[in-house]
Chains A and B, each alone.
Chain A
Amino acid sequence: MQNLIEVEGITKTYSSNLPFFGREEEVLKGVDIKMEGGKIIGIVGENGSGKSTLMKILAGVMKPDSGSIERNGRIGWCPQEKLLYDRLTVDETFTLFGLGYDMERWNIRKVEKELAERFGFEEYLDYQVDKLSEGVKQKVNLSIALMHDPDLLLLDEPYEGFDWNTYLNFWEMTEDLIANEKSIVVISHFVNERERFDSIYELEDGLLRKEK
């Protein structure tokens, strides 16, 4: 079976564009990871260890300084920050991202309704994003990553702000996805319920080390 994502030798250093300003920091020093379908892995690490950086590189919004990435399939990325447009409504947000994913409008509305019912934000569809509570924003943030039925889901602190029922719905959803041969990468400061994960990696000193 072809790997959904194959990453080799990824490095990334943060520095300022201006000389003598800021400090240089090497956050990734040669990260390798491969994921096949139907797996769920967790990546843990301390604050500032480079987890979000790695996630952005896997998603394709940031370029590594060196190394190679091969993606085979649709990617869904749920960032830690709620990267949404404040002045658009939830409805408009789904429409915008859905059109980007090349979805038909009827399908956008269908998926939006399903996800809104699953995660409990149906009553907020005509609210502007900046008027939502943090928990509801996170539900929308996650839903945007899911709406196009991605093969590989990259989730950065996905259940921050979730109530208990939504948390349980989230894990129920992941089971459905895994059963359909999708793969999930979850980044977190710490990973509860370790038995849910096929593998757990720790990002430390710029390198990924398998714990489980």
Chain B
Amino acid sequence: MNVFAFFRRPVNLALIVLGIPIVIYGFYVFMRALPDFIFPEISAEMGAATGTLFAVVFLVGLVGLFQIISSLEADRRLSISGFSMHNILIGRFLGIFIISTIISALSLGVMSYWVLAESYSLAFLVLIISGFMYGMIGVLVGSLVPKELEASLILIFLADLDVFLGTGVLDFESAVVEYFPLHSPSILLQSAVLEGQLDNSHLLVLVVYVLLFLYFSTLAFKKASSDEEGWF
């Protein structure tokens, strides 16, 4: 029912139909416009891959966020009908995973209009997992900051910064950059699209991040669902 509810929102459909192509094309054009002599390693194909990643994580992140913010009170009511909050949360995670799969497939399809991937299966895998990771981040942010405007601004800022650092446009070496959630997914997706392979070490990092965010989002949701006072 989470998945049906998501696709019934006109704004969500608009984001999918219009937002995905605009974002991917925007990144494609932006990276293509960068001068070769300054950014020799940046290509339009990398732009399209980055835009695809951003479209997926941003949309799924918002799904995770608003599933918590808009439904937490109704979830509390549902929990006294017999569904435990534990089961409700598992249902939400499953819904986020399914939505991540659907949006990843659509985004990859749109990306193909401009760039053909060397390995669609690997690219699809990276997108689904990255989207799910950001869905967990959305749940975490929504549980900690249960206010629509503030929480969505935090998520948007994080996703923008995260994906921008992953483009490699700013070539600065810093350990901090490597700790951002989309550092490994960016590298993985680019190698899946451009080379048809994945670096196992970065894949392991991505899986670890997913598990970490799954753990912290579960804790935050548990706290938010049992505590009405809030943080503010």
Q: Are A100 and B78 in contact (CB under 8 A)?
A: yes
A83 lies within 8 A of chain B by Cβ: yes
Which of these binds chain A: B118-126, B162-170, B211-219, B224-232? B224-232
A77 and B1: CB pair below 8 A? no
A-B residue pairs in contact (CB < 8 Å), sample of 8: A15-B229, A16-B230, A17-B229, A88-B1, A97-B78, A99-B82, A100-B82, A148-B81
B residues apposed to A, CB below 8 Å: 1, 4-6, 8-9, 70-71, 73-74, 76-83, 226-232
B1's partner among A14, A22, A83, A96 (CB-CB below 8 A) is A96
Provide the residues of chain B in CB contact with A101, threshold 8 Å.
81-82
Residues of B within 8 A of A18 (CB): 231-232
Which residues of chain A (83-99) have a CB below 8 Å from chain B? 83-88, 92, 96-97, 99
A56 contacts across to B, CB distance below 8 A: 228
The proximity string for A residues 12-29 relative to B, scoring 1 for CB distances below 8 Å and 0 otherwise, is 001111100110000000
Q: Which 8 A-B pairs have the closest CB atoms?
A: A100-B81, A87-B5, A100-B82, A83-B77, A100-B83, A61-B76, A87-B8, A83-B74
Dominant SS among interface residues on chain A: loop
Q: A86 and B70: CB pair below 8 A?
A: yes
Does any Cβ of B come within 8 Å of A79's Cβ? yes
A128 touches B231 (CB 8 A): no
Q: Are B74 and A84 in contact (CB under 8 A)?
A: yes
> Contacts of A85 on B, CB cut-off 8 Å?
1, 5, 71, 74
CB contacts (< 8 Å) of B8 on chain A: these are: 87, 128
The answer to the question of A59 belonging to the interface, with a C-beta cut-off of 8 Å to chain B, is: yes
Q: A120 on the interface (CB 8 Å rule)?
A: no
How far apart sit A79 and B81, CA to CA, in the bound complex (Å)?
13
Whether the pair A17, B231 counts as a contact (CB closer than 8 A) is: yes
Q: A59 with B80: in contact, given A21-B232, A22-B232, A96-B1 (CB under 8 Å)?
A: yes
With a CB–CB cut-off of 8 A, which chain B residues contact A61?
76-77, 79-80
Q: Please indicate which of the listed interface residues A21, A83, A96 has the most CB atoms of chain B within 10 Å of its own CB.
A: A83
Q: Does A63 contact B (CB under 8 A)?
A: yes
A83 touches B80 (CB 8 A): no
Distance A97 CA – B80 CA, assembled complex (angstroms): 10
Known A-B contacts A81-B73, A85-B74; the reply to A17 vs B81 at CB < 8 A is no
